[in-house]
Amino acid sequence: MAKIGQTIREIRAIKGLSQKQVYAGIVSRSFANRFENGANDIQAEKFLKILDNLGISPSEFQYINNDYQLSSIEQMLAKINYLYDTHAFQTLATWLQQHKTDHNLQIQIVIGYAEVLLSAYSYHQFPLSKNMQLIVQHLLNEKSWTLQEIKMVNILIPIIATHKQFKISIEAITRRVEQNYQLYLTKYADPFRIYNELLNYYGVVFQNYLNIKDYKAAYDFKSKFLLDENLLDWNARVTQQLWLAIWELYFGSYNNGKSTLEKIIDFKKIFPTSFALNINAIVDIRLKDALTYRHA
């Protein structure tokens, strides 16, 4: 607790706020002095009010309190996603080997997440390791998800699509995803970039429908991508246009869809490392598969 009080004092000094401005109506001045010197604990409710007066979120406070570092689990997830997005699969496999025997439950869940990413990228069918099963059960058994689970839920789709022992449909997962995502959206803003995660999830589901040739479900899925553009950042807008263009390849104007995809690829060349999606690979596959579908 000593470190927490000291961090509050540092933030207060950075913002040029007095103790009275931060603590008035919450704790006494003497308590505030002892708290900032590490001598007092503080109730969670009062602590959150202090953060409100400082104008910072609990997550930002945790980051500052951790010497401007993410938590160890968040660092692991960030590294895994970076290695996957940049196709550094050998480095990711090495990381897995280094952590595979860890007995910490949260780390085992993260390991399962990494194993699914690697396996789903390389194989249409793959066995489930102990850690993979752990993360699937964790996601399926939880009634609601935090941001950490929301960012992992995409991996359920390739597993549920290829492992019939899980008695839940992709449609049911999608309903749960949408219910949980709504909890993190506000009327005028997307503070946690939930729309980015939602579009990525919809893209995984849409591609799964195309892969299993459930074209009726894929056709009906277009409306999912029609999110309010005013709440999307530029990365999400590109992702949105990508999936709508692929929908056009199959069910609308092939030429219009192809033209949009060519523009997206040209735009991507300006930012060659800025997109998590492997757009070129997706486009190559879908251009060919859409023609096959149309000529069938």
The CATH number given to whatever domain includes residue 130 is 1.25.40
Q: How confident is the model at residue 216 (pLDDT cuts 50, 70, 90)?
A: very high
Q: How confident is the model at residue 2 (pLDDT cuts 50, 70, 90)?
A: low
pLDDT exceeds cutoff 60 at 36: yes
Final residue of a domain: which of 12, 47, 65? 65
Q: The domain spanning residue 12 has which CATH number?
A: 1.10.260.40
pLDDT exceeds cutoff 60 at 158: yes
If one counts the domains in the chain, the total is 2
pLDDT exceeds cutoff 90 at 248: yes
Structure tokens at 110: 């993260």
Final residue of a domain: which of 65, 93, 108? 65
Average pLDDT over residues 187-199: 87
Q: How confident is the model at residue 123 (pLDDT cuts 50, 70, 90)?
A: low
What is the pTM for the complete model shown? Answer: 0.81
Average pLDDT over residues 149-160: 87
Higher local confidence (pLDDT), 259 or 160: 259
Say what the pLDDT of residue 289 is: 95
User: Does one domain contain both 41 and 78?
Assistant: no
Final residue of a domain: which of 34, 65, 96? 65
User: Does one domain contain both 83 and 56?
Assistant: no
Q: How confident is the model at residue 213 (pLDDT cuts 50, 70, 90)?
A: very high
User: Does one domain contain both 43 and 182?
Assistant: no
- Print the domain residue range for 148: 72-295
Q: Which residue has the tokens 């096959």?
A: 292
Select from 225, 236, 159 the least CA-distant residue to 192: 236
